[in-house]
Structure 1
């Protein structure tokens, strides 16, 4: 399907984008600054994900990284997973044109379930699979302010699923995006992208931004050279309103709607000979959300915030035959104050309701199909400085109740030693939990053993199914971390983190269930289930090293290296979904005031469990700003190596998606502001 045909199919988006272009033009503004940010700015950047309060990245007692909008744009990334490749300790592997495996510090898979991902504080993981559909959340780069990534448990503040890390995508304040912004892209992989944004003032205290984006991506190739049929289209519209009615109140309202159409060839079981088939799997995903936050400054040392969101999602899969309608309602509050002039206390609580309505078939069968989950939580965290704040200690815990798996307590202790204003050491001991999702009430059938064979001498097909267990407990991790933030020279900063993670109650092992003869579509088969249990344990350890060096005023280098070792006490094949070694070198070079050249060189080690080899590749971007408000950029991706797999086959996902090859691509982008 051509790009223009795809736009005609998405009539809603065409109307929206046309309305934006005909909207009244605001005052002329400059295009987003793409000049190099100073090292001083990066070292003093504030983050909020570590403690839910603004703090300098140098003062954070955690392994935290920040991707700025400038760094993402100049990397040439067009999707969030591609941007996250730049962060040390983050494991990113492309499965096909519309699917990625993304995790932090191991346990990677298509639905990595030990990672919490948020957009402006709104959780976007799927409770059904405990993972993220990354094609659905393809946030336009121009709308992003920064991406904060915390490597390591965040359960004390953020709750379930913040086991190995937290990714918080923070969009730009609408006051920063006044006027009209248009961006058009076309290329060999990203066939086309149309982004339009209109921002203006509603009053002297309120501003808004309305943006629309439609992207079209081409299909990739399977290893045998055939078409993978995994082309996809993403249309979305988003509205953000920022209002400061008084000097002490701030109100944020964000809403949006999106639609994704995708596909991809899959290997699926068949109850008739040859008992396996490759078929196209059409995917249709739609959603809308409303997210609001009210913040009040009670005093110089005290503030209060109340946030809530309502999120509706619809998904229809052709293979397997699965549809889901899910509504999530969430509300939580936060209060921070100074106690006894020495202790900073943060506390709060929240409630979430998830209403799920499913329709499933025998390949992926969920019982019950309709269910409502309730989640309650309360947390408190206190920080105190010692020896004129040279030593800072933070202790806290969260208590969370899930109607499916019961209560979990997630404590943490963090310490920071400000050795000098330019050097800091930190350490942490923390725990986090992941509540079971589909593993508790689903049966997966993705393999059929033909009758009359050595492994199945009977006359009926044999299905070694994987059966859920409603008695599952939450998975737990205890993490030990130590790290260093420092500025060795005026031109050089370094960040080092080491960790050991101990996991209990992992859902990686199973026990034999009751064998029975069943029927599906009028065909009898032998069902030999393996029931999931909580008997697996694991230990992972590793280190992450990153640094920023500015050898001259017009050139900045950002480099990182990550090492990870997994030791999993589970059946063979549970290890090797994440690379043991990976490295990234990103270069920003301002040739002159108009021309800039940027590149990203990356190495990713082999993934032994899914059959993906190690690779080295290079992305490069050349941009020209002939005048204020206009930028033209040419981006080349995967310039060294083309036609390789980043990921392979994994189980027990059903049906098994066929991994496609990563190809060399080019893209031309024109961006303008009026």
Structure 2
């Protein structure tokens, strides 16, 4: 019973502690509330809300807005403190902020001068007080100072001087000018009623009295002196006469604008996406459904790879083949070497261009380098061209200022898992630098063959190893102006991983180096990105039949890309925000599996107009023209209509088309591969006259965003044609001959071709996220997709019909973090070639069923007070033990639970 009580107490403590889950969401809620309160004139309440936002997730612009509100209140000391803290972030507007600080310091000094002067007046020392106010007025004239000096002069009996000050004050046309008129009239009447002294006629001088002292005049002077001294003493002990004082000056006026600068509405808390339209916009304005995964989502999810994290996206198909190989697609049509989803890092393509496939462990960045991932669910060829066929995944990394300092992480887990990484970022004036490096390794989920078998040979030193890679990425930036920067960066990734090939080619051992060099300029109105991707790999089947060729190969691939983009805006019957750009790509490939080395040049032009017809209506039209060296010109149009029901609700209707061009492997492949059947080989052949895959899409969506959560519902229809597929392994006559490259007779061939079938994919997605208390986030989604042959009406069974996800995460103020996600995928049936010695050709293509599956991930962490040390335990495939292990592809490994413990230090 004791352990139950302890557990109950711990649970109550956790639930009772304030939660701080997705800090961006919580901070956004307080920031929005604070800015609205300030806009309504409720400055103090607004400042407190902004401070809460800053406490949850610091951002320099919050300090700026706090300082601005404090200055508007006349709280100059706190305002100076806030602006000085803002300046410590080395913002791009540092010079203008230094001017603001200098102005506030001057106002603070003048405030002290005015306060001292008013205190002297209240104490009856009118001459001293008036001289201080006069000094302040001389340095910085303000009508309120005139009013206070006039009142003091009036109290001191200096009526003529008081009248002059009141008249000067009135000439400034103050708001209370009418109230000053009675004072002016009273002084004028008092001065006109004052009797004018009669000048006596000077008597004739009497010589006899000329030398007599004037004792009467001397007595009067002495009496006046005594009276003045007595008056001074009495004024020090009697209460001063009540004085009506106007606001002292701008330095003490809460309602006066200090010309500090415009409000900063952006503080890094709002959901902003850049991928859907190639410019920053709210998801409510995007032409496609967009899912945003933040750095907090990444950290708390328990996922140790980007594909596992993408399982949370509605409609996303994630297929794990091994501990190091994943395939990802949006809304169906996933495959080995999946090639229908465009993957970017900071807008730069990172898939292996010669395959069109993504090596997720080949990136030069890690999960902790990522600021957010934007997933566009739907075709995007209208502005991105080939491979943005069913969707786009854009991985956006953190800027150096967001990673200021040094962070190191080390983790160790089951199945010899190891992760080590380090980050460092610094800013020196206008130059900032970010460097990140790491190493990761892990064993396989299962061995395809027993290494002790004599009829099979392995090409790897450690048959149990699945992944062993090291990486390094460095970026330098130079701030040209606010919102504009030059950047130069590069990255490398070197090591070993598994890769599942196509057709009869199964698990490959891929070893080698991928690197990139990137250079560009990014501004609001113009950007240009130039990059070079270089790949040098060696691959071979991990197991092959003893005595046959091992099909080892070398890959030398290069890609050079230049892409300038203009983003002008203008007004014409509403606001138009244009995106106009061009792209040039040069590809070079030299791979043993192809018919020879090849060089290709690609060109493209694209344009888009986002027309805000009114506050509620907007229309987006875009189009792209690509020139392919084998196919010719390819066009991709898109249009979207968006209606804002309210500020946080939008309806969207969009339509367009997209394409996927043939990869170099599909065009130029010429490979003879050995099979498990002794003496029999298969030949895989490409085709240069392939048509591009085409898709026409229509989508309708609804999105609502509030401070307590968001809801999204989407329905869509896709018409898919000309899919590039491989023919089944076709038996060939023995007369085709003996192939000396593999030491066997060619028993079957498979060709790339355009599938004559047309498929219709109809589907819907619904998702909801709620924030029931500060920090606690809960989410759920469900996706339905039915794909069928347009002619036969038969269902396409390779893609699951149902996908559902449930997730939650929080951060406790006690330092305890937690997150979990549950993903359910319905059953599938795959058609894949299989070796069969009983078949005349040695192969068959029967349906291979994959049962429904469940994937569970989670994480528990503890942040040591001070947030410099964090301990965590994360796990993936947590329900996959023993006989309950599942596969996600017929040829993939049965997945297994893995747990990783890690410690992270911030230095």
TM range (shorter): 0.7 to 0.9
Partner of residue 294, structure 1: 521
3-state DSSP class of the match of 2:537? strand
Of stretches 427-436 and 515-524 in structure 1, the one that deviates more from structure 2 is 515-524
Residue 93 of structure 1 contacts residue 102 of structure 1 at CA under 8 Å; is this kept in 2? yes
Please, which of 442, 456, 459 is the counterpart of residue 217 of structure 1?
442
Residue 325 of structure 2 contacts residue 500 of structure 2 at CA under 8 Å; is this kept in 1? no
- 1:382-397 aligned at under 5 Å gives the runs 382-386=609-613, 388-397=614-623
Residue 232 of structure 1 contacts residue 263 of structure 1 at CA under 8 Å; is this kept in 2? yes
Please state if 1:635 is matched with 2:874: yes
Please, which of 380, 400, 413 is the counterpart of residue 174 of structure 1?
400
Residue 309 of structure 1 contacts residue 330 of structure 1 at CA under 8 Å; is this kept in 2? yes
**Inter-partner Cα distance in structure 2 for 1:449 and 1:637:** 34
TM-score, with structure 1 as normaliser: 0.83
Please, which of 700, 714, 717 is the counterpart of residue 500 of structure 1?
717
Please, which of 665, 688, 693 is the counterpart of residue 475 of structure 1?
693
Partner of residue 192, structure 1: 418
Partner of residue 66, structure 1: 292
Aligned length: 603
- CA drift of 1:411 comes to 0.4
- 1:50-449 aligned at under 5 Å gives the runs 50-137=276-363, 139-189=365-415, 191-201=417-427, 203-222=428-447, 229-247=464-482, 249-263=484-498, 281-297=508-524, 303-319=525-541, 320-341=551-572, 342-360=575-593, 366-367=594-595, 369-386=596-613, 388-437=614-663, 438-443=665-670
Q: CA distance change for structure 1 residues 266 and 159 in 2, over 3 Å: closer, same or farther?
A: closer
Q: Deviations over 1:460-517 (max 9, x none)?
A: x665644322111111110111101113x64231011111111122223759898651
**Inter-partner Cα distance in structure 2 for 1:571 and 1:124:** 38
Q: CA distance change for structure 1 residues 147 and 508 in 2, over 3 Å: closer, same or farther?
A: same
Please state if 1:659 is matched with 2:892: yes
Residue 80 of structure 1 contacts residue 138 of structure 1 at CA under 8 Å; is this kept in 2? no
Please state if 1:564 is matched with 2:785: yes
Q: Deviations over 1:156-205 (max 9, x none)?
A: 1111110100000011001111111111111114611111112122x311
- CA drift of 1:525 comes to 2.2
Partner of residue 550, structure 1: 771
Residue 135 of structure 1 contacts residue 260 of structure 1 at CA under 8 Å; is this kept in 2? no
Of stretches 540-549 and 281-290 in structure 1, the one that deviates more from structure 2 is 281-290
**Inter-partner Cα distance in structure 1 for 2:559 and 2:475:** 20
**Inter-partner Cα distance in structure 2 for 1:570 and 1:139:** 45
Indicate the RMSD between aligned Cα atoms, in angstroms: 2.9
- 1:591-602 aligned at under 5 Å gives the runs 591-602=812-823
3-state DSSP class of the match of 2:829? coil
Partner of residue 617, structure 1: 855
- CA drift of 1:38 comes to 2.2
Residue 397 of structure 1 contacts residue 410 of structure 1 at CA under 8 Å; is this kept in 2? yes
Residue 464 of structure 1 contacts residue 529 of structure 1 at CA under 8 Å; is this kept in 2? yes
Partner of residue 41, structure 1: 28
Please, which of 781, 787, 806 is the counterpart of residue 585 of structure 1?
806
Partner of residue 889, structure 2: 648
**Inter-partner Cα distance in structure 1 for 2:794 and 2:398:** 42
**Inter-partner Cα distance in structure 1 for 2:784 and 2:710:** 20
Partner of residue 533, structure 1: 753
Q: CA distance change for structure 1 residues 59 and 265 in 2, over 3 Å: closer, same or farther?
A: closer
**Inter-partner Cα distance in structure 2 for 1:283 and 1:588:** 36
**Inter-partner Cα distance in structure 1 for 2:499 and 2:610:** 50
Q: Deviations over 1:192-228 (max 9, x none)?
A: 1111112122x31111011111011122125899997
- CA drift of 1:322 comes to 2.0
- CA drift of 1:445 comes to 5.3
Please, which of 519, 530, 533 is the counterpart of residue 738 of structure 2?
519
- CA drift of 1:392 comes to 0.5
Q: CA distance change for structure 1 residues 37 and 411 in 2, over 3 Å: closer, same or farther?
A: same
Q: CA distance change for structure 1 residues 206 and 467 in 2, over 3 Å: closer, same or farther?
A: same
Gaps of 5+ in 1: 1-32, 270-275, 298-302, 361-365, 452-460, 650-657
Residue 190 of structure 1 contacts residue 667 of structure 1 at CA under 8 Å; is this kept in 2? no
Gaps of 5+ in 2: 1-19, 30-268, 452-461, 542-550, 831-847
Partner of residue 654, structure 1: none
Residue 776 of structure 2 contacts residue 808 of structure 2 at CA under 8 Å; is this kept in 1? yes
Partner of residue 171, structure 2: none
Question: Which has the higher Rg, Structure 1 or Structure 2?
Answer: 2
Q: CA distance change for structure 1 residues 603 and 346 in 2, over 3 Å: closer, same or farther?
A: same
Q: Deviations over 1:559-591 (max 9, x none)?
A: 111111121469999933332111111111334
**Inter-partner Cα distance in structure 2 for 1:97 and 1:260:** 15
3-state DSSP class of the match of 1:318? strand
**Inter-partner Cα distance in structure 2 for 1:35 and 1:648:** 34
Residue 725 of structure 2 contacts residue 753 of structure 2 at CA under 8 Å; is this kept in 1? yes
Residue 725 of structure 2 contacts residue 752 of structure 2 at CA under 8 Å; is this kept in 1? yes
Partner of residue 456, structure 1: none
Of stretches 51-60 and 590-599 in structure 1, the one that deviates more from structure 2 is 590-599
**Greater relative CO (CA pairs within 8 A, separation 6+):** 1
- CA drift of 1:519 comes to 2.3
Partner of residue 17, structure 1: none
Of stretches 507-516 and 470-479 in structure 1, the one that deviates more from structure 2 is 507-516
**Inter-partner Cα distance in structure 2 for 1:528 and 1:124:** 34
